[in-house]
Amino acid sequence: MMKKLLLSALLAAPLWVLGQGFQVNLQGQKQIGMAGAGSALALDEASVFFNPGAVSFLEKNSISAGVNPLLFKSAFQQNGSNITEHVKNKIAPPFEAYAVWGPKSNKWKLGLGVYTPFGGLVDWGNEWSGRYALTSLNLKAIYFQPTLSVKITDRIGIGAGFVYNHGDVNLQRALPVNYADGRSGHATLEGTGSGYGWNAGLYINTLSNITFAVVHKSKVVTKLNDGTATFDVPESLRSSFPAGNTFNAELPLPSTTTLGIGIPLSQSTTLAFDASWVQWRVYEELAFDYAVNTPVLADTRSARNYRDGSSFKLGVNHKASEKLALRAGIGYAFSPVQDGYVTPEAPDADRYILSAGVGYAPTSRFEVNASFFFEDVKSRKQKNIETGLDGTFKTLVYAPGLSLTYKW
């Protein structure tokens, strides 16, 4: 039982941030205000992420930086119990930074994006009923994306960017072994990884000013090398949990294909719609290779059997005046996590999305944008096939955001 719980925790750890709801869709304040729609709109420098093909249609050069303090509130009720357990209130800080530059009257622009598409922070505490699966997790995945965008014609643009990913993870969990004083053993896993990919997009502005987008973000295989595994266990068991042990793993972050449309309802109001298909089927299994093996700690392969996920987002951008813009959006996302594979790292389910945003430009060069993003993840009753954790998860996600932009 101890071996099963240990290995399932090691294998499940990265998936907390890889579920549909934990793919951090917070890469630009204007788009966040529209529930994440906007691939078919040349709104601002965040097009480096949303659609590189639209970057060449931006009128000005610009730099911007923003942050979205993300509060993840999840609750769990074990089957047969009337006690509801909650994660501790901790805030993760997804951020984005962009720069766009190109000579005026030229048909090309260069862009750079630094953003966090995967990541999270969760702490269930050391005493909750699922502590042998997880107590806490802190993961950060930072993408760096240099980009080139070119106008093929006055109405068609293409663009592409190279993606480098740097990730850090710290996972902690209790072990089902006890000291003489009754306290449980403890495991801490830490590691860094990197991977490579690309992001490409097509932007089309028709004669009726209806705009279209096709965007593909490639799979990024993130390699974790020489991660450290530290175990706090009684002296009699330390030979089964060797000190200084390390592990290697590969985590394929999924590719995403997005189709977008932008419809001008008036000179001041535009409707945006995005449909995204996320190729989660790459997660058939996860494998970990440990430098030192014991009868308890062996190299492992664990089935995940994810299916592809999808999301649909509808947003509106209304220019109330020369200086003020108002935004709102709704969306729905389908979870890729199948029955039997839900874990406290990925208490995932289908979800509703609501958002709102506002932008203010006090001068022609300076702009402030704010947003509020909310996700209501449906309740999901599950029994995990590896750990046996049996109960109902319910999750809400809140993310206010703010960015500053300078244009010239």
- Quick: pLDDT tens for 361-402: 999 999 999 999 999 999 999 888 877 888 899 999 999 999
Query: 30 - beta bridge partners?
Result: none
Residues 132-161 have a mean pLDDT of 93
CB 215 within 8 A of CB 248: no
**Residue 358: predicted pLDDT:** 99
Give dist(CA 401, CA 325) in Å, integer. 16
pLDDT band at 29; cut points 50, 70, 90: very high
The highest-level CATH class for domain 2-407 is mainly beta
Give dist(CA 31, CA 54) in Å, integer. 14
Four-point Cα dihedral 26, 28, 34, 40, nearest 10: -120
- Percentage of the chain modeled with pLDDT above 90: 56
Residues 126-138 have a mean pLDDT of 85
Give dist(CA 396, CA 202) in Å, integer. 34
**Residue 290: predicted pLDDT:** 82
CA angle 116-87-188, nearest 5°?
70
**Residue 311: predicted pLDDT:** 96
Residue 100 in tokens: 């766009």
> What b/e readout covers 131-150, taking b as 16+ CB neighbours within 10 angstroms?
bbbbbbbbbbbbbebebbbb
Q: CA separation (Å) from 306 to 280, 282, 309, 376?
A: 6, 7, 9, 21
Which of the residue ranges 35-39, 188-192, 323-327, 369-373 would you say has the lowest mean pLDDT? 188-192
Which of the residue ranges 32-36, 128-132, 230-234, 295-299 would you say has the lowest mean pLDDT? 295-299
Is this structure's pTM higher than 0.85? yes
pLDDT in tens, 242-288: 899 998 888 788 899 999 999 999 999 999 999 999 998 887 777 77
**Residue 22: predicted pLDDT:** 53
Q: Which residues contact 166 (CB under 8 A, 6 or more apart)?
A: 141, 142, 144, 192, 193, 194
Residue 10 has pLDDT above 50, yes or no: no
Residue 381 in tokens: 């009753």
Residue 224 has pLDDT above 70, yes or no: yes
β-strands 136-151, 156-178 pairing: antiparallel
CB 196 within 8 A of CB 161: no
**Residue 334: predicted pLDDT:** 95
pLDDT band at 310; cut points 50, 70, 90: very high
Residues 107-122 have a mean pLDDT of 91
Residue 324 in tokens: 């003020």
